[in-house]
Amino acid sequence: MVMAVYATAFAVRGKSDASPVTEADERAEAVIVAGLARLTPEIPVVAEEAVAAGQVPQLGDRFWLVDPLDGTKEFIGRNGEFTVNIALIERGAPVLGVVFAPALGPQGRLFAGALGHGAWVEDANGHRPIACRAVPSEGLTVVTSRSHGDAASLNAFLAGRKLASTIVTGSSLKLCLVAAGEADLYPRLGRTMEWDIAAGHAVLAAAGGNVRRVADGQSLTYGKAGFENPHFVAAGAAVA
């Protein structure tokens, strides 16, 4: 569905918050929401484009968070760094997540994780478990956003840490790279919404990592009024 649009000269529109949206966002969301309604009709679905249209369901302890196309700017730029994200939230915590990057490699790259069952990735190299790594002796590999970010704030946050390298990429792939042991730290010192990161958070948590608020070090939670996240840092288990 997403790739079918990706292969065309698709149109781009602006939403009320000035963020871009394409036909791929809308078509993918319709398919995902319909599928979740069949699979778990009793669990409400919070989906990005529906919320943008004012459709917010009544939430209980369990709900789905859906971002049908995370990294729309990467999709528009055709660099492949966009994802489809689905997460299950229970009592404010992400317990199940799937992140699919359909344009990475010949068959895409799929990350998934579930509380108590570990995390895994499936791509051209096969299906295999993933886990956060211990920080290498040469220092941290830090993931940063390709399309968003405040360089001065990031440099201040990282001051005093031993750094080895930086990876620049888009979408929820940043959390998944930490989960896969390909990076160690992802500080996000800017605006995000819950559906942007919930699936990646679930994969990271299942792989042994965490996502904490910068302000107080507490675990990031979901189901907040307005669905907007504070500044946070995603890290492997051994990273302070």
Mind listing the pLDDT tens digit for each residue in 36-82? 999 999 999 999 999 999 999 999 999 999 999 998 888 878 888 89
Residue that terminates a domain, selected from 130, 154, 179 = 130
Q: Are residues 194 and 228 in the same domain?
A: yes
Residue 25 has pLDDT above 60, yes or no: yes
Average pLDDT over residues 197-202: 98
C-alpha to C-alpha distances, 188 to 47, 146, 161, 209, nearest whole angstrom = 22, 12, 16, 15
Q: Are residues 108 and 168 in the same domain?
A: no
Residue 33 lies in a domain: yes
Residue 222 lies in a domain: yes
- Structural domain range at position 221: 140-235
Query: What CATH number has the domain bearing residue 164?
Result: 3.40.190.80
15 vs 99, higher pLDDT: 99
Residue 240 lies in a domain: no
pLDDT-based confidence at 84, cuts 50/70/90?
Answer: very high
Q: How many domains does the chain have?
A: 2
Residue 5 has pLDDT above 80, yes or no: no
Average pLDDT over residues 134-145: 94
pLDDT score at 145: 84
